[in-house]
Amino acid sequence: MTAPLARPLADPACFDPDRFASHGYPHDIWTKMRADRPVAWHDDGVREPFWAITRYAEITAIGKDSDNFISSPGVTILRKDQMVADNTPRVPLMLTMDPPEHHKNRMILRERFKPSVMRALEEHIIARCGEIADDVAAARVAAAQGDDVIDFVDAIAMRLPLDVILELLGVPTDDRDQMYLWSNAVIGSEDPEYGSVDLPREAIVAAQQAMFGYFARFIAERRKAPREDLVSLLVEARIDGTPLNDMEILGFCFLLAIAGNETTRNATSGAMLALIEHPEARRTLTQDPSIMTPAVEELLRWVTPIVYMARTATRDIEIGGQTVLAGEKVVLFYPSANRDETVFENPFSLDFARRPNRHLTFGFGRHSCLGNDLARIELRAVLNEILTRFPGIELAGPVSRLRSNFVGGIKHMPIRLEP
């Protein structure tokens, strides 16, 4: 099929990983695209071409329409030179399934992530935050003679989400640092520090293989002696009466280990940075912790750690005045939707009194985030702990950002706990 000629073109800067690394989100570009070409064709010759969707209305319309826009051809945009055909079997991931498989797979986990189960974990999560703050305080005392600058990401933000997801899976939290490295290599595959600018796919495959080897041990153990954890749940699960095979279980473990930590870590660092950059908002929250729930919603809107998810059109279909052809990808820019001025009043102001706050940080539609209740509990707990224990926390140097157009990552954020 020939593509119609008159396609409005996306500004390439909307998806340039180097720009994400040096400047953070290209909100100025997205804002312009929302105004004059909300459905725009992106083809930089390097990556798979796609339609860039920047407005809330079209993003929710596509998210809702899982008949015409599917996930199984992949929800990320790959570099063409990395799209090598090989015979390695693709590990099944719920994230890239369509109905009816998607629903059957999601049902396995749904009960374990429902709000009441997550609420029962809250006390434990709060206690974990206390331990993290104790460790940070102890490290600070030990370093009191020298420089007391610490990396917020390593010392605080990365810990809680990893500890919680590893505990839920039923694997030792002692392996947290190892999991952190693997997960950084997968999500930061195009980053020079975590992955490889030239060979990102190799970085992902190596980390993925290592994670599979790691989880395989626990799957074998739980097959013999199941416990209460998620690995045991997966070992005992049935789809249409058939147990999951090892690859299917590995897919779940991999997805949960990555999704359960990268996003919440970056939401935590991004939220703390936003509070440091908005002293007025921070003061309001410190003086009245009862607004923590709406404050976290607004911080989630503000930060939006996942840049996009892609879908593929199953037929020629009109969206926002453009015709998307069957087989073409659409990229849903969630942070742009969360600044859409037709939905959010003064979208560039951080406003803890914002109501309603229907942000798309957790996506929209049948794939919307399974771990959203858990992430919200973790964020409330960790922010509350930091603001209470370290009220003087301030930035002690420039933040360094991940070279990625998929996750808005903060790699390092030097802070001083007291001025």
**Number of residues engaging ligand HEM in binding (CB under 6 A):** 26
Distance CA 165, CA 170 (A): 8
Looking at residues 149 to 168 of the shown chain, list those that interact with ligand HEM (rule: CB under 6 A): 165
Q: Considering only residues 370, 381, 393, 415, which one is a binding residue for ligand HEM as defined by CB under 6 A?
A: 370
Q: What's the min distance (Å) between Cβ of 147 and ligand HEM? A: 31
* First CA to last CA distance, the chain: 63
Q: Is 409 an interacting residue with respect to ligand HEM (CB under 6 A)?
A: no
Q: Is 335 an interacting residue with respect to ligand HEM (CB under 6 A)?
A: no
Q: Is 362 an interacting residue with respect to ligand HEM (CB under 6 A)?
A: yes
Best CA proximity match to 26, nearest among 333, 364, 400, 399: 333
Which residues sit opposite 311 in a β-bridge?
330
Q: Please, which residue, 339 or 367, has the CB nearer to ligand HEM?
A: 367
Q: Considering only residues 95, 235, 275, 299, which one is a binding residue for ligand HEM as defined by CB under 6 A?
A: 95
CB burial of 67-101 (b: ≥16 within 10 Å; e: otherwise) equals ebbbbeebbebeeeebeeeeeeeebbbbbbbbeee
| Candidates 53-61, 128-136, 212-220, 364-372; binding stretch for ligand HEM (CB under 6 A) | 364-372
Q: Is 56 an interacting residue with respect to ligand HEM (CB under 6 A)?
A: no
Q: Considering only residues 74, 371, 408, 409, which one is a binding residue for ligand HEM as defined by CB under 6 A?
A: 371
**Residue 343: exposure state from Cβ atoms within 10 A (0-12, 13-18, ≥19):** middle
DSSP state letter for 367 = T
Which residues sit opposite 410 in a β-bridge?
401
DSSP state letter for 400 = E
Distance CA 182, CA 340 (A): 35
Q: Is 260 an interacting residue with respect to ligand HEM (CB under 6 A)?
A: yes
Under 8 Å between Cβ of 403 and 192: yes
For residues 277 to 316, the per-residue mask of contacts with ligand HEM, x marking binding by CB under 6 A and - elsewhere, is: ----------------------------xx--x-------
Q: What's the min distance (Å) between Cβ of 368 and ligand HEM? A: 6
The two most distant CA atoms of the chain are separated, in Å, by 69
Residue with tokens 């503000």: 302
Q: Is 244 an interacting residue with respect to ligand HEM (CB under 6 A)?
A: no
* Residues forming the site for ligand HEM (CB under 6 A): 71, 75, 94-95, 106, 165, 255-256, 259-260, 263-264, 267, 305-306, 309, 361-363, 367-371, 374-375
